[in-house]
Amino acid sequence: MASPGKIRNRKPFSTPRSDSYDQDDEDHVHAVYQRPTARSAFEQALDTPKASVAVVGVLTALAFALRFYKINHPDQVVFDEVHFGKFASYYILRQYYFDVHPPFAKLLFGLAGWFVGFDGHFTFDNIGDSYTENHVPYVGMRALPAILGSLTIPIIYAIMKETGHSTIIAAFSACIVLFDNAHVAQSRLILLDATLIFFMSLTIYSYIRFRKLRYWEFSVEWWSWLIATGFFMACAWGSKVNGILTVLTIGVAVLIDLWDILDIKKGHTLEHFWKHFLARALGLIVVPFIIYLSFFYVHFAVLTHSGPGDSFMSPAFQETLIGNELLMHSQELHYYDVITLKHRDTKVFLHSHPDRYPLQYDDGRISSQGQQVTGYGYEDANNHWQIIPTKALPEAGRGRVVQHEDTIQLLHMNTQTLLLTHDVASPLMPTNQEFTTWPKDDHSRHNDTLFYLDLIDGNAGDAWKSKSGHFRLIHVPTKVSMWTHTKQLPEWAFKQQEINGNKNAVEKSATWYVDEIVSTDGNNIDLAEINTPNEPKKLGFFRKFGELQLLMLQHNAGLTASHPYASSPINWPFLISGISFWTENDTQKQIYLIGNAVGWAICVIFIAIYVGIIGADVVARRRDIEAIPEHIRNRLWNSAGFFLLIWAVHYLPFFLMSRQLFIHHYLPSHLASALLAGSVLNFILSDTINFPISVAGRRTHMRPSEFADLGAKGPVVVGVFAVIMFAVFVFMAPLTFGTPGLDGDAVNSKRLLSSWTLHFAAKNT
Amino acid sequence: MRPSQVQIDFGSLPETPLRSPSSEFEEISYPTPPLHTIIPATARTDDSLPLHYMQSAEDTSTRRRVAKGPGSSGGFMSGSGYDTDALLQYNDHDHKDGHSKLRPPIGGRVSSGRLHKPYPTPPTSISDFIHQNLEHLPPAIYTLLSCWTRFHKIGLADIVVWDEAHFGKFGSHYLKREFYFDVHPPLGKMLVALAGLLSGYDGNFEFKSGEKYPAAVPYVAMRVMMATFGVALVPLGWYTAVELGLSPWACHLVALMILCDVAWLCISRFILLDSMLLFFTFTTVFFLTKFHNQQYHSFSFDWWLWLGLTGISIGCVTSVKWVGLFVTAVVGIYTIEDLWDKFGDLRMSTRNQLRHWSARILCLIILPILVYMASFKLHFLILNHTGPGDAQMSSLFQAHLVGNDFWKNPLEVAYGSKITLKNMGWGGGLLHSHVQTYPSGSNQQQVTCYHYKDDNNHWLVLPRWNEPAYNPNNELRFVKDGDVVRLQHPPTTRNLHSHPIPAPIAKSNYEVSCYGNSTVGDVQDHWVIEIVDDIRQGKKDNVNRIRSLTTRIRLRHDILGCYLSAANKVLPQWGFKQIEVSCVKESDPDDIHTYWNVESHWNDRLPPGDVKHYKSPFLRDFWHLNVAMMTSNNALIPDPDKDDILASHPTDWPWLRLGLRMCGWGDHQPKYYLLGTPLVWWGGALSLMVFVMLLGTYLVRWQRRYVDMDATGWAHFLYVGKVAFYGWFLHYAPFFIMGRVTYLHHYLPTLYFSVLMFGHVIDHCVFSARWKEKTKRVVFGVATFAIVANFWWFRGMAWGIEGPVNEYWGLQWRKSWNIYNA
């Protein structure tokens, strides 16, 4: 049925094709063969390898120059260097810390710091702390992101070249990032984003190389680029949590690819499909995961000492760290020990004093007028409680150790009364039960003084330990758990914290621990057990890894506190607001993270144009109008479409996140939009493109090639853009480099959008 | 949403070799003539069964056929009747966009909904008539059963149950014609009021929660009228299933599930909006399916009828609760796909294209908006007396209401006047202050915008500090444009104040607080009055004194130059969810959030104003009220400080993790527990998962050219699946994004789509598949029994549990349900 002369003209399906791979979507019979030598002189000159090397050389040199320019300024802690510099010093000191980001980039900083002789004793406490006064070799540490940030430029260039764009277009995309103030500012400070972006661009590059080898499936090069993709992907993911979006991008691309392979028109067997599937599973799931795990392995191997991150972790984890307080002081508790109990979240002691609850509260409710039980933040003899058994005890031995799910009473030492709760509303919360005490000798309320001990993650028979044994105290008759919250009681209770019974017996925040053993029963305590500092315990790597991952996720989602420079994602592409990184009042210097206004505007406009072109193409073909030549459309959908996918996957998920978000989260997407902008510019300037770009296999039908030819207008247009972007970059450079200082009017003139909250602006009159 | 591309591929001519013999799977040569292209002659004459149902018999021999795709764009409208010239037309490029063109129909048309039936000849005898209408017997029986379940013991609880406290009260407001404010649109509440009117209720009951109904309140009659909407759900569900082209077995199951769900039953039996919301949701889907079945009779009377009814139904459902926008979205997606298909139909004339477009715009956009606006028009017409909701509206609107005395205000504001200031932004409130202080910033006394009348809204206009203090015996001085004044808050004697401290929410603005007292203060208390214009007197140049109600003014801070503004930002709990007031630095002369007008005005030294009538245009009031509703709705966010035991998270719903106690749980009162029939809910949720898996499997097999269904079957499978899945998804996913607090009853409209999906999946897998008749009967029997038995087990949830609840055994199917008293 093939009708000659029609556009979609192809061999009938029935043709035996076992001997050849079709070049599938690049099959265009009508494509005109063009001689490479027929192109314009500019194109030919620029297309030679020498010219290409020269261009990329100049771009890279410029990138290094811009990112290393005055890298020693300011010699003070800037923005999140507070965190990431500090983490580097923890690696050097080998002290355990906790952070929401995976460790790879921070390990690199630790390594860089160690390399330049940083001893780790500077703590990066506040923005504005001086490096020079504290003898911190900060330039060496800042050099790492600056190098990675600079190397991103040739990678962008290479990505564009590999996807069939001409040299000048590749240079255009590279320039957008090269002259971008936000990328520069982010790359010359001790921050994670440069590492993330570097590895993300490497991932994209590797994946494109891998895709181009699809007719050489299972060859050595094919495998190499597949594994490389997986490796770099893991590095991106290991640098920052956001790197997971890179993984997601590749995941989506691979699914689309596999769906194509599955298509029966390709003539592949199912076995062949599974081979492809397994290869990708190996290269893009197994390998990255192993790499990712290995970062954590190194992380745990380096951080063997107790540090500021201890308290985030479970007791079992903490006991693996040298010098940990739990490890040093955690002891089993015995009946008749006198102890202090502390609330895990609010760090108050369980406290009681002879004062009583007032008969009637302000809102008219009535209390039991019992003795007050409160939460108190300071050491006090009224915090002492004795553990009273409710069962017969042996004279000595293990039987006297308090165990998980034992029923106990707590005796307040100073007033000799037992802790009690009952169905009376607490002073502040009508829904919760009041806690009070009851004389020890009055047995009329015996049942109400019974509590059972519910150790968190405890198993039957586990001993209750001080420090490490987190527990809930559940009231036996009413099943409420002892709980406290940050609200203060009024004057009658000296503004101490309210303790009440929470009806949710498994309430997470009702967790307490024994802070200290004040005195023991005496006779049957093995003194040796108390005094020897314990050896660090061992915990399997996977258990540690699992616990840390879970905590990272929880804390990442929990970062919801408002921040003056946080912004919502919709603002980012339009550069509505930036972040003030650093200011110095005397000289009126400031670093303000903001992108190159022209570069970002180009990106947004070109994304819009791309969406418009694609939309128009879909609509036109719906009406059977073929407006775009096949090979151009192919590249628009596949290459530029891939860039759009990267942009979308690195951007849209932020809309669903409720954590605090900053404009630097958009930088990976900005890079993708720079790639897309190159493709769109190519489409606007010319209807030629290098084609085909995939490496032909042994059995691939050779097709006539086409060559991109932008003529003279390419270099001119890109040159003009580059000059404008450079000019804007220089104009905004004082905000990026933090020098020189600006007077009020200069600040005003650089405030291109009224929403930028720059410091030292002159008063508007 | 759509398969990636269209493969209308009808195999090759019989004599053409199909594929190379090397292909690795079983092939069966293509039978001639092609099976699916034309409806078999038998089916044309005897077509009481849906088409896909007919074809199963033929398909038994050829489970796997080669080189024949499911053959449809997967669009709602896709049929397959276009045939032979499509032979060997491969759509041969792998574009990512579902590039497809419908070929013009040649042979018989195949609907993806219910099969079109020729109209029967008029009946000539009684038996003819009965025979022709036999199909309406089952729904009639179900409707009677539905009446019984809905009305049975409906008056058992003679107390105000659950949200009857709200909606009963709103109904009373209509009867007393007092203006009130609520976050829901008015249609549902007007129907409640209508029910009250018809049953002779006089509107004088307060509907306090848990209170016993006095003899004068005909609550049973009102409940019965509400429950009537619930009764109608069952036949609507039945006919929708029929129109969707489900087999009779599946129709029975769908109707039974709607009949037997205790949550739908329970929510329909009280004076609530949900029964009406559900009713209009059901009608929307029903009209849509009716309309779909007219797809090959464009612009016929029936076509217009069902399209128009769909539009009206959308308008009604949205006028009951805004949740109705979700079902509107379903109709929207259907229409977009439909028009996209038409757009690709190259044989259709441009004129017809335009007619299709304008018909949709007219019926699905303009008509619903008109219905929605009409409900508000009626709302304003009925509520012409002052009431508790006045302060939500503009001062001018309020001046209209009977019982309002704004018109008695002295006309022009002078020093020493006591005034209230109303923000002119949409939904703006009255400038307010109270003794509570800001927890951050300056820690001074809060200034907010408040929507209810209260002494804390009063402000005294006083001269600035460096002028002689106001003396009531001096000559009267009127306030003019450009005057610098001090506004004192009489209850606390503090002065309206601003300073360069960031406001609590809008951080870029300055905080506004109340500071000092009647003798202590500073120049930060000074505000410059700038007149914008006057509604009656016109432009600023003609206005020299401030008139109450009509003059629009802005208040500029004398020192900072910022403008007093209230921009609908809601303060957290410490500010009692009132609106933040701040001072904006940028002077935008068109920002109505910085416009204020004097609302109430008291000054003993001035004569009361004249009786004047101010016109307040309807569209302005309509828009104003809607913005106010939106603002209040957004303020209904979960309070982290308060553990609301009634609220639930959307993830709790499909698997029925939680129920809801609707009233007190004492031993001597009937107790109602909002809980679905577990089998219905679980079955629905499960069927959604099964559908997604089925679809995935079919798509993968389609990519490998296995043919599981003919084109009609595939189109039907997708069409029904999409209606149900989009409906469910669009009614469910938005709740995750919404910040507001959510409750179990928000899932009730969503449940309908999961029930339809259950019917569809079980129809697809059992009743329309190649099972033995006996197997089908057994499956149907078991399913029916299980649903009915399950309903009977939990009937007390909706009919009222009498006596101590702990005496009922076996209700605690999930640990998380709080049916029993612990």
pLDDT for B96-128, tens place per residue?
333 333 343 434 445 677 776 677 778 888 888
Beta-bridge mates of residue A341: A514
- Chain A residues whose CB is inside 8 A of the B99 CB are 618, 621-622
What pLDDT is attached to residue B592? 81
Note the pLDDT tens digit of each residue in B243-283.
999 999 999 999 999 999 999 999 999 999 999 999 999 99
pLDDT above 60 for B307: yes
Taking each helix axis from N to C end, the angle separating A641-651 and A193-212, rounded to the nearest 10 degrees, works out to 150
DSSP A584: E
A195 Cα to chain B: minimum distance (Å)? 32
Q: What mean pLDDT do residues B316-336 have?
A: 94
Task: State whether A622 and B96 contact (CB < 8 Å).
Answer: no
Residue B497 CA, chain-centre distance (Å), reads 42
Q: List, for residues A437-491, the tens digit of each pLDDT value.
A: 888 888 888 888 889 888 887 777 778 887 777 888 888 888 888 888 887 888 8
HSE-CB at A15 with a 13 A cutoff on CA atoms is 12
Overall average pLDDT of the B529-558 stretch: 82
Identify the residue whose tokens are 């993984």. A247
Identify residues of B whose CB sits under 8 angstroms from chain A CBs. Answer: 4, 12, 16-20, 22, 24, 67, 87-90, 92-97, 99-101, 340, 343-344, 346, 507-508, 586, 643, 700, 703-705, 737, 822
Buried-exposed string B193-208: b where 16+ CB fall within 10 A, e elsewhere: bebbbebebebebebe
pLDDT of residue B3: 45
A5 interface with B at CB cutoff 8 Å? no
What's the token pair of residue A195?
A: 């590492």
In degrees rounded to 5, what are phi and psi of residue B453?
A: -80, 140
Whether B256 contacts B211, CB under 8 Å = no
What is the pLDDT at residue A390? 84
The pLDDT of residue A27 is 39
Distance from CA of B336 to the nearest CA of A (A): 13
Query: Average pLDDT, stretch B706-714?
Result: 84
* Digit-coded pLDDT (tens) for A235-268: 999 999 989 999 999 999 999 999 999 988 888 8
Interface of A with B in 120-159 (CB under 8 A): none
Averaged pLDDT for residues B673-681: 92
pLDDT tens sequence across A592-639: 999 999 999 999 999 999 999 999 999 999 888 888 888 888 888 989
Q: Residue A2: which pLDDT band, with cuts at 50, 70 and 90?
A: very low
Which has more confidence, A270 or A509? A270
* Minimal Cβ distance to A622: which of B92, B93, B344: B344
Contact B703 A754 (CB under 8 A): no
Asked if B22 and A270 come within 8 Å (Cβ–Cβ), the reply is: no
Assess A763–B contact: CB distance below 8 Å, yes or no: no
Chain A partners within 8 Å of B16 (Cβ): 14
A765 touching B (Cβ < 8 Å): no
**A–B interface: beta-carbon pairs under 8 A:** 71
User: Which residue out of B13, B20, B77, B93 would a mutagenesis test of the A interface target, given it has the greatest number of A Cβ atoms within 10 Å?
Assistant: B93
Q: What tokens appear for A426 in the block?
A: 């607490």
User: Average pLDDT of chain B?
Assistant: 81
Pairing outcome for strands A433-439 and A481-488: unpaired
Residues 623-652 of A with CB under 8 A from B: 623-624, 630, 633, 637, 641
Compute the average pLDDT of residues B574-601.
84
- Which residues of B are less than 8 Å from A637 in CB distance? 95-97
Residues of B in contact with A635 (CB under 8 A): none
The mean pLDDT value for B430-441 works out to 86
> What is the spatial distance between Cα A648 and Cα A656, in angstroms, rounded to a whole number?
13
Judge: A18–B340 Cβ closer than 8 Å, yes or no: no
Q: Is A434 on the interface with B (CB under 8 A)?
A: no
Report, as an integer, the average pLDDT of B514-532.
Answer: 85
B599 band by pLDDT with thresholds 50, 70 and 90: confident
Q: HSE on the CB side for B37, CA within 13 Å?
A: 18
The whole-number average pLDDT for the span B2-29 is: 43
Q: Which of A17, A25, A622 sits opposite B101 (nearest CB)?
A: A622
In this complex, the residue of B22, B88, B703 whose CB is nearest that of residue A263 is B703
Please give the mean pLDDT across all residues of chain A: 85
Tokens of A163: 């996807």
Q: A18, B16: Cβ pair inside 8 Å?
A: no
- Out of A533-547, B143-157, B378-392, which region has the weakest mean confidence (pLDDT)? A533-547
Nearest to A14 among B19, B96, B340 (CB): B19
Q: Which of chain A's residues have a Cβ under 8 Å away from the Cβ of B586?
A: 754
Give the mean pLDDT of B474-490. Answer: 86
Please state, in angstroms and rounded to a whole number, the distance separating the CA atoms of residues A97 and A105: 15
Q: Nearest C-alpha of chain B: how many angstroms from A407? A: 21
A1 and chain B in contact, CB less than 8 A? yes
Which pLDDT band, with edges at 50, 70 and 90, does B611 fall under? Answer: low
Place of tokens 């009786």: B611
Q: CA of B86: how far to CAs of A14, A16, A263, B4, B8, in Å?
A: 16, 22, 20, 19, 7
- Measure in Å the smallest separation between the Cα of B814 and chain A Cα atoms: 17
Q: Above 70 in pLDDT, residue B78?
A: no
pLDDT at B47: 40
Mean local confidence (pLDDT), B481-500 = 88
List of chain A residues whose C-beta atoms are within 8 Å of the C-beta of residue B94 = 24-25, 260, 263
Q: Do B94 and A263 touch (CB under 8 A)?
A: yes
Tokens 């999930």 found at: B814
CB contact under 8 A, A479 and B822: yes
CA A37 to chain centre: 49
Does the CB of A19 have a partner CB in chain B at under 8 Å? Answer: no
Instruction: Give me the half-sphere count of Cα atoms (radius 13 Å) on the Cβ side of residue A266.
Output: 20
Determine, for residues A633 and B99 on separate chains, whether the beta-carbon distance falls below 8 Å: no
| Residue that has been written with the tokens 């049973």 in this structure | B220
Contact in structure between A52 and A562 (CB atoms under 8 Å): no
Measured distance CA(B746)–CA(B267) in Å, rounded: 11
Please check the confidence at residue A758 and state whether its pLDDT lies above 60.
Answer: yes
pLDDT tier, B822 (very low <50, low <70, confident <90, very high otherwise): low
Peptide bond into B138 cis (omega under 30): no
Closest-CA residue to A468 (of A476, A457, A460): A457
- Judge: B704–A270 Cβ closer than 8 Å, yes or no: yes
Nearest to A245 by CA among A551, A600, A672, A578: A672
pLDDT at B71: 36
- What is the structure's pLDDT at A709? 82
Of the listed ranges B486-495, B538-547, B693-702, the least confidently predicted one is B538-547
Q: Out of B18, B344, B703, whose CB is closest to A264?
A: B703
Residue B538's CB is within 10 A of a number of other CB atoms, namely 10
Mean pLDDT over B527-545 rounds to 80
Arithmetic mean of pLDDT, B421-437: 83
Is B90 in Cβ contact with A624 (below 8 Å)?
no
B339: which 2 tokens? 């028009």
CB atoms within 10 A of CB B289: 25
Confidence at residue B150, expressed as pLDDT on a 0 to 100 scale: 93
Please judge whether A10 and B92 are an interchain contact, meaning their C-beta atoms are less than 8 angstroms apart: yes
